Amino acid sequence: MVDFTFTEEQEDIRRAAREFAEKEFTIELAQECDREEKYPRELVKKCAKLGFHAVSLPEEYGGGGYGPIEQMIVMEEFSAVNPGLALACLTPIFGVEILLYHGSEEQKEEWIPKLCSGDAIMGMANTEPDCGSDSASIKTRAVLDGDEWVINGTKQFITNGTVADFILVTAKTREVDWKERHKAMSYFIVETNREGYKATKIRGKLGIRASDTAEISLSNVRVPKSNLVGEEGKGFYYMMEFFDRSRVWVAAQGVGIAKGALKLAVEYVKQRKAFGVPISNFQFIQFKLAELATKIEAARTLTYRAAAVMIEKGKPDPMLSSMAKWYAGEVAVETCDWALQFHGGYGYIDEYPINEFYRDAKITEIYEGTKEIEKLIVARNLLTMKF
């Protein structure tokens, strides 16, 4: 039997997340971080103190001990208030699943409690300047030299690159034939205070400016053998498993952005008058609002179904995760586009929140796999399916 209602405990989490966001994500802070491209450290600390960022991490490490549904709830509610601040607050543990499922006990005990308490921030470095969707074709190399790995390479668009305490870095650890490149990649813990690590903040982003994004340079960075995460050569498979999970997280972000944009649109059209009446009286506006609300509800159902599968099967469904991320991102962009259109010229001014929502929404169609990649995953699954 499929249940589309939250439990009482989940409703409590939803309300708490919404109350925190509405209180702390002030318009003044949102505009300051957006205009100055500023990372909101104090806000991130407040969020960590209440455990919202670690709601799905195991209690033994200091996390909330909940599951993916609760994680999606927090992301949706935060994103509905302000997408940029939401992302900054919830990404200090970005990539932790790789540590959790494949790290050694020593690695987990050293880092995950610090992440849960807010005493550490992490990131994950996969993308390179000439390597985006084709993740297996990275150029970064790690060479074993005695008891240390020596890492050289450049990573691009890395979340938390300039604020993290450590980064999970992908690097090639063996030479293989091009067709076997998926078996050449490994993950390493790279502490950001190591010699040779350099992070340069990327400025001028279209949106999510409160979230730190950087280019990372690794020049003869030495890490001990114990910093290898999991098995050598299994990094690509760890990455794909992570994306199957994180795409549902991005889908929840898209749902939240769409929900927040629709709220702004409804509030505005009820106030704005044209030809002597509120523009909410116009049938074409009513029809469009109805269409958007229906699409948001469809995206939400797909997103939470994808999260529920992780609980039912103990692992994500790649096809369902890709569907959710692609569709929710598309709905977020469409809803923000129409919401800004309803605002008219005012929507084009950054004084109005819909302006930032519009700019923030687009990233949901790009990171964690572009919408074209999501469609490829869905299609490949369909073509091997028995109907």
pLDDT at 1: 40
pLDDT bracket for residue 310 (50, 70, 90)? confident
Our CA angle for 361, 306, 291, nearest 5°, is: 50
Q: In this predicted model, what pLDDT tens digit does every residue of 319-345 receive, in sequence order?
A: 999 999 999 999 999 999 999 999 999
The percentage of residues in the chain with a pLDDT greater than 90, rounded to a whole number, is: 91
Instruction: Give me the catalytic one of 77, 128, 365, 368.
Output: 368
Write down the pTM of the prediction.
0.96
pLDDT at 3: 63
What is d(CA 198, CA 213) in angstroms, rounded to the nearest whole number?
A: 13
Q: In this predicted model, what pLDDT tens digit does every residue of 2-58 receive, in sequence order?
A: 567 899 999 999 999 999 999 999 999 999 999 999 999 999 999 999 999 999 999
Contact between 300 and 255 (Cβ < 8 Å): yes
Contact between 207 and 360 (Cβ < 8 Å): yes
Contact between 75 and 249 (Cβ < 8 Å): yes
pLDDT at 314: 87
Q: What's 97's DSSP letter?
A: H
What is d(CA 358, CA 369) in angstroms, rounded to the nearest whole number?
A: 20
Q: Which residues contact 134 (CB under 8 A, 6 or more apart)?
A: none
pLDDT at 53: 97
| Higher pLDDT, residue 181 or 256 | 256
Helix, strand, coil percentages for the chain (3-state, nearest 5): 60, 15, 25
What DSSP string describes 42-71?
HHHHHHHHHTGGGTTS-GGGTS----HHHH
Q: In this predicted model, what pLDDT tens digit does every residue of 141-166 receive, in sequence order?
A: 999 999 999 999 999 999 999 999 99
Burial class (CB in 10 A: 0-12, 13-18, 19+), 207: buried
368 is catalytic: yes
CATH numbers and ranges of domains, the chain: 8-90 (1.10.540.10), 122-233 (2.40.110.10), 237-383 (1.20.140.10)
Residue whose C-alpha is closest to residue 155's, from 170, 144, 165, 166: 170
